[in-house]
Structure 1
Amino acid sequence: MSGYVGVLVSDPWLQSQFTQVELRNIKSKFVSTKTRSGRVTVEDLPPVLAKLKDFNGTFDAKAIKTILDESYPNRDEEIEFETFLKAFLSVQSRGTKGASSFLKTRSTTFHHAINESEKAFYVSHINNYLREEDPLLKSYIPINPAMDALFDLVKDGVLLCKLINVAVPGTIDERAINTKKDLNPWERTENLSLCLNSAKAIGCTVVNIGTQDIAEGRPHLVLGLIFQIIKIQLLAGLNLKKTPQLVELVEENQDVDELMGLAPEKLLLKWMNFHLKKAGYEKQVSNFSSDVKDGEAYAYLLNALSPELSTHETLEIKDPSERAKKVLEQAEKLDCKRYLSPQDIVEGSANLNLAFVAQLFQHRNGFTDESSKMPISSSEIITEEDEEACREERCFRLWINSLGGVTYVDNVFEDVRNGWILLQVLDKVSPGSVNWKPANKPPIKMPFKKVENCNQVIKIGKDLRFSLVNVAGNDIVQGNKKLLLAFLWQLMRYTMLQILNNLESHWQGKEITEADILNWANRKVKKMGRTSQAVSFKDKNLSNGFFFLELLSAVEPRVVDWSLVTKGETEEEKILNATYIISVARKLGCSIFLLPEDIRGKPENDAYIGG
């Protein structure tokens, strides 16, 4: 379970040197070593530390042994976890290549400066979108942007859960949030686990954030998470389902799939440049920082989007600060809230400028009604041809992005076709399986180089005993959706089984099978005196949700409020139960990327999408 219980260290300074995610990763290595040998000694440290990603390629076991010999001459000395951490820092401080950016030594402490303008924007956004009349938010809203109250208000997770539901409505079943006045530490941790796992599920990157980090109100981590949530909300309209007029951005010799495979930020830039070109602006805007600092691009854009307010006065202003001021005044006439200042534009604040352009898109996208009728058949293909494939693509995309250290994926069907990302994922879930020497790193111009990467992907898949009969690397390069989804399903399944296999204390070294998981779940439910039993993961009776709820209750009896559970007889009742199941599981620390429809309609997926 990720994020359920914080890893605590008695030495406050030592605790401060790591995020909770790092502590959990390192402790898992320590526990694994101790489980195998019964004890951990100084002699065990070099090979264990050498395998950690922080030192991979920086220090080999021999180099680490040399470093540790200076401080720990007795190689048979048994060590505890805190000594293990000190040894880790001792090695980390001797090199910079590959060292984690979050790790600090006593002589080198990183201070994360807080951008007050960004903080003020986030607070204003929260005050505007979260309602004071909401019974759960009476003691939270409004927040004073001039103070640091935000960092205290997020510590119980309620505010962040609410913000996630504003960004992507329905992500969290609010019935699962612990909302009583005085929450105990376990209940606060559950809320924060629900928050972080739900943030993952909507596309946030939370690899370096743990529940303890938010509970401690670490400003840079809190603000980083909040911005990701707000960005997802602001960019939500950049898809053909909500804005079919985007087909107007399709260039000659480009298809709709290629356009919609762009990251939302890149699509927003493409939209901006589309209107700038029409307005006669000769430069290309490639970022939300240096390219917009002088305010000139904004002046042209606003003239294109709002001809009725068009004026050359803004363009004639020479002073960038004065021009930025005029730009914001014109934007306010379009009902865009002033979340940034002229100084933020001039200084090139990337986050605030992105938010500003996203607001312009939301209020005035500049497309005509006719543009939505252009190649509308293409957009219909994207949104209607295969909803199940789209849901599966979303699940695998979010899962890959949650792994950390893997190139960010915006569209699975497009982004994995050169094989590079799949090799990264395979190396993540099965360390050492990838031979990087012959691998071809993007950008890859020659098609046969992509095939080489994908051939290695298929070879590794076969080595891991995936079912890949008559599947070749070229199938991935060609973007065969059915085969890609089948491969990724097996890859996720393998990862989940490996996680379980690593729980040696529970399984005693036995290779875990699906039958073992099913038997464990049935025994767990039966032991609690419940009657539900699962015949298989394809059992249609699972669709009402009772078995999953009883299993969750068996893991933690107080986590399920049975007064909120429906009979599961109608489709609506099944969806309500499924929504509640997902939130309760995330509350317990599970990383789940499926939707309620997947539980209701295809229960066999559920064995592999949680952790």
Structure 2
Amino acid sequence: MVKVHKVVTMVQIRKESQGGARDVCVEVKSSHIPHTFTDQGIVKKGGMSAVSEEGTTDSYSEEEKTAFADWINSNMANDEDCKPYLDIDVNTDELWTKIQDGILLCKMINLSCPGTIDERAINTGKLDQYKTTENLNLALNSASAIGCNIENIGAVDLQGGKPSLVLRLLWQIIRIGLFARIDVQHSPGLVQLLKDGEDMEDLPKLTPEETLQRWVSFHLVNVQIYEFREKHILEKSLMHAEGYLYLIKQIAPSDSGVDLGPLKEKDPEQRAELMLQNADKLGCRAFVTPKDVVQGNSKLNTAFVANLFNTWPALDLPEEMPDIEGLKETREEKTFRNWVNSLGVSPRVNHLYSDMMDGLILLQIYDKVRPGVVDWGRVNWKFEDPGGNMKKMENCEYAVELGKDMKFSLVGVGGKDIFDGNETSTRAVVWELMRAFTLAPLQSLQGSEGPIKDEEIVDWVIITLQEAGKETSISSFQDPEISSSRVVLDLIDAIKPGSIDYTSVRDGTNPDERLSNAKYAISMARKIGARVYALPEDLVEVKPKMVLTVFACLMGRGLKKVQ
């Protein structure tokens, strides 16, 4: 069956000119876009646009569309601002249209990472094109700040309802929220999953998926069903719903009504449906349909298991509570990790230090910071043979060598430090990469041959504030005046006059007022197009490194405006 929809949308294309590549928004005139459903549940949305004589096709998963829409309907139902957007009809294209003004996306980000977006920055009410774009920029830059890779996703793509990009963004936001509490800080009972020879410090090094695999294996082995091989826990071993039935029975309260009767059902899909009815008794029927279970949709089944864990972990606390203080991720580590993940490295970074020890992630970051700088012929990719550690060491040494070639400040840092997971050395390299990444656009915008100096950014801030008639100013990135964030808010208003609602700005004379201003400032910076990774606390505490990134990003936004 083919459904035909008449749409008018905006398409972003890359146009080459003598001045270089630039993004151009072009209206697509009343295109008729057919939807064709394949046997695998993949929808191909194709058609001809007014900007190209070539046909375009955008494929997406109908199962993911249904799962994410259901998740939004269920999890956003208590938010008054979201109610006008619910319930999303999974049998239509409502998912693409309901996120087009950015409000629902902003709310989803705050659900996954509470407090990421200051809601004073969200445009509400009747929105024109301008205010809609602001909301989408706020959502995208905030998504990047929590570790989403938004490469090739722009406001125009979301306004145009491009399915594959919408689903890619939604999955990242949902995934981050699902995995946020799968760690020993939030679930001390995870210590039960340690293997012989492991200690508490090994837990943070596990990816969320690995932790879930161990959790499922722990419960299945506990009920002595049969030995599951961990690498199949979320794959074939659960595809016939038997493993899920035992798992749900094991974690369910005794009065929940969960039973193992569905094991007698011969038909795989019907057995999966009965299993999901059991999950529903625990309030955990989400993400998967019986067909998704039987076919083994990895993404959706992982989300289903994560939801089970978050709701009913069923892990007894150890008799002696372990000391987890030293295992907590610092704000700086979190910011670095989110920045690295936003670049689209593979695999995702879960633990800043152990995940860098083979050098591959660092080398990917170098290539993002300065494309072409890495000679991939020198890079070792496989480490299974007896010389694997030596090959990892060579990668780490190459990463440090590249840093020194790029004039990074890496005194006393060697490849072995990275290989050994030395925290100070690893942070030093990552910070230098983040700094170079942040300053590179300024160098390009100013046409400078050398790196931009801190003093140049400070001077620009001072001049911009003066020209806008603002009374605030700074002398350096350590200036105590930054703690109130009023200078940041004034700078944002100088870049985009009228953007700051000064009735929302506090004097900053006490900690609560300073934090309130900082939250508003960070969100407003992202709203006007500055991709800021710093946290509000960084401004309040005047952390020079993160303060530098905030002003550098705003300077980049200001220079683009001038051009």
Instruction: Tell me which amino acid in the other structure corresponds to 2:194.
Output: V
Q: What CA deviation, in whole Å up to 9, does each residue of 1:408-454 have, x standing for no partner?
A: 22221111111121112112212333232232114466322222111
Match for 2:173 among 229, 241, 257? 229
Aligned to 1:437, what secondary structure does the other structure show? helix
Instruction: Tell me which amino acid in the other structure corresponds to 1:302.
Output: I
1:173 aligns with 2:173: no
Q: Which residue of 2 aligns with 1:454?
A: 396
Match for 1:31 among 5, 11, 19? 19
Q: Which residue of 1 aligns with 2:68?
A: 122
* Pairing 1:400-411 to 2, within 5 Å after superposition: 400-404=340-344, 407-411=347-351
Match for 1:354 among 302, 318, 341? 302
- Provide the C-alpha distance between the structure 2 equivalents of 1:202 and 1:428, rounded to a whole number of angstroms: 18
| 8 Å CA contact retained: 2:345, 2:361 | no
Report deviation, 1:340: 3.3
* Pairing 1:464-543 to 2, within 5 Å after superposition: 464-503=406-445, 506-507=446-447, 511-543=451-483
Report deviation, 1:486: 1.8
- Provide the C-alpha distance between the structure 2 equivalents of 1:107 and 1:219, rounded to a whole number of angstroms: 19
Structure 1: unaligned runs, 5 residues or longer = 1-11, 35-79, 83-101
Q: What CA deviation, in whole Å up to 9, does each residue of 1:6-63 have, x standing for no partner?
A: xxxxxx99x86xxx5x73xx76x963589xxxxxxxxxxxxxxxxxxxxxxxxxxxxx
- Provide the C-alpha distance between the structure 1 equivalents of 2:505 and 2:341, rounded to a whole number of angstroms: 32
Aligned to 1:286, what secondary structure does the other structure show? helix
Instruction: Tell me which amino acid in the other structure corresponds to 2:402.
Output: I
* Pairing 1:133-152 to 2, within 5 Å after superposition: 134=80, 136-152=81-97
Aligned to 1:155, what secondary structure does the other structure show? coil
Report deviation, 1:507: 4.6
Report deviation, 1:542: 0.7
1:298 aligns with 2:240: no
Q: Which residue of 1 aligns with 2:513?
A: 573
Give the RMSD, CA atoms, in angstroms.
Answer: 2.8
Q: What CA deviation, in whole Å up to 9, does each residue of 1:185-240 have, x standing for no partner?
A: 22111100110111112222221311110011112221222222222222222012
| 8 Å CA contact retained: 1:566, 1:577 | yes
Report deviation, 1:352: 2.7
Identity fraction in percent:
36
Q: Which residue of 1 aligns with 2:559?
A: none
Q: Which has the higher helix share?
A: 1
Match for 1:561 among 483, 497, 501? 501
1:112 aligns with 2:93: no
Q: Which residue of 2 aligns with 1:606?
A: 547
* Pairing 1:18-417 to 2, within 5 Å after superposition: 20=12, 23=14, 31-32=19-20, 109-115=56-62, 117-131=63-77, 134=80, 136-181=81-126, 183-280=127-224, 281-286=226-231, 288-306=234-252, 308=254, 311-369=259-317, 371=318, 373-374=319-320, 376-377=322-323, 379-383=324-328, 390-404=330-344, 407-417=347-357
Distance 1:435 1:510, change over 3 A: closer
Structure 2: unaligned runs, 5 residues or longer = 1-7, 26-45, 554-563
| 8 Å CA contact retained: 2:484, 2:517 | yes
| 8 Å CA contact retained: 2:383, 2:392 | no
Q: Which residue of 2 aligns with 1:39?
A: none
| 8 Å CA contact retained: 1:30, 1:81 | no
- Provide the C-alpha distance between the structure 2 equivalents of 1:283 and 1:294, rounded to a whole number of angstroms: 14
- Provide the C-alpha distance between the structure 2 equivalents of 1:81 and 1:573, rounded to a whole number of angstroms: 41
- Provide the C-alpha distance between the structure 2 equivalents of 1:270 and 1:212, rounded to a whole number of angstroms: 41
- Provide the C-alpha distance between the structure 1 equivalents of 2:304 and 2:18, rounded to a whole number of angstroms: 47
| 8 Å CA contact retained: 2:251, 2:313 | yes
| 8 Å CA contact retained: 1:132, 1:141 | no
Report deviation, 1:351: 3.0
Instruction: Tell me which amino acid in the other structure corresponds to 2:76.
Output: L
Q: What CA deviation, in whole Å up to 9, does each residue of 1:339-391 have, x standing for no partner?
A: 5332221222333322221221122212123x3x45612x23212xxx6xx21
Alignment: residue pair count: 515
* Pairing 1:410-425 to 2, within 5 Å after superposition: 410-425=350-365
| 8 Å CA contact retained: 2:479, 2:542 | no
- Provide the C-alpha distance between the structure 1 equivalents of 2:249 and 2:455, rounded to a whole number of angstroms: 64
Instruction: With the length of structure 2 as denominator, give the TM-score of the two structures.
Output: 0.84
Aligned to 1:112, what secondary structure does the other structure show? strand
- Provide the C-alpha distance between the structure 2 equivalents of 1:497 and 1:325, rounded to a whole number of angstroms: 54
- Provide the C-alpha distance between the structure 2 equivalents of 1:488 and 1:111, rounded to a whole number of angstroms: 36
Q: Which residue of 1 aligns with 2:484?
A: 544
Q: What CA deviation, in whole Å up to 9, does each residue of 1:465-493 have, x standing for no partner?
A: 11222221111111111121122112211
Aligned to 1:160, what secondary structure does the other structure show? helix
Instruction: Tell me which amino acid in the other structure corresponds to 2:149.
Output: T
Q: What CA deviation, in whole Å up to 9, does each residue of 1:565-609 have, x standing for no partner?
A: 111111111111111111001111222222111111134122225
Distance 1:544 1:301, change over 3 A: same
Distance 1:311 1:158, change over 3 A: closer
- When structure 1 is superposed on structure 2, of 397-406 and 412-421 the one drifting more is 397-406
Instruction: Tell me which amino acid in the other structure corresponds to 1:199.
Output: A
Q: What CA deviation, in whole Å up to 9, does each residue of 1:43-90 have, x standing for no partner?
A: xxxxxxxxxxxxxxxxxxxxxxxxxxxxxxxxxxxxx999xxxxxxxx
| 8 Å CA contact retained: 2:137, 2:528 | yes
Report deviation, 1:166: 1.2
| 8 Å CA contact retained: 2:207, 2:350 | yes
Instruction: Tell me which amino acid in the other structure corresponds to 1:121.
Output: A
- Provide the C-alpha distance between the structure 2 equivalents of 1:497 and 1:361, rounded to a whole number of angstroms: 41
- Provide the C-alpha distance between the structure 2 equivalents of 1:423 and 1:30, rounded to a whole number of angstroms: 32
Distance 1:232 1:433, change over 3 A: closer
- When structure 1 is superposed on structure 2, of 240-249 and 406-415 the one drifting more is 406-415
- When structure 1 is superposed on structure 2, of 529-538 and 325-334 the one drifting more is 325-334
Distance 1:110 1:81, change over 3 A: closer
| 8 Å CA contact retained: 1:151, 1:218 | yes
Report deviation, 1:524: 0.4
- Provide the C-alpha distance between the structure 1 equivalents of 2:512 and 2:189, rounded to a whole number of angstroms: 33
Instruction: Tell me which amino acid in the other structure corresponds to 2:125.
Output: K
Report deviation, 1:289: 4.5
Instruction: Tell me which amino acid in the other structure corresponds to 2:115.
Output: G
Q: Which residue of 2 aligns with 1:66?
A: none
Aligned to 1:558, what secondary structure does the other structure show? coil
- Provide the C-alpha distance between the structure 2 equivalents of 1:402 and 1:364, rounded to a whole number of angstroms: 30
Q: Which has the higher strand share?
A: 2
- Provide the C-alpha distance between the structure 2 equivalents of 1:263 and 1:213, rounded to a whole number of angstroms: 31
Distance 1:417 1:565, change over 3 A: same
Q: Which residue of 1 aligns with 2:375?
A: 435
- Provide the C-alpha distance between the structure 2 equivalents of 1:131 and 1:261, rounded to a whole number of angstroms: 35
Instruction: With the length of structure 1 as denominator, give the TM-score of the two structures.
Output: 0.78
- When structure 1 is superposed on structure 2, of 522-531 and 291-300 the one drifting more is 291-300
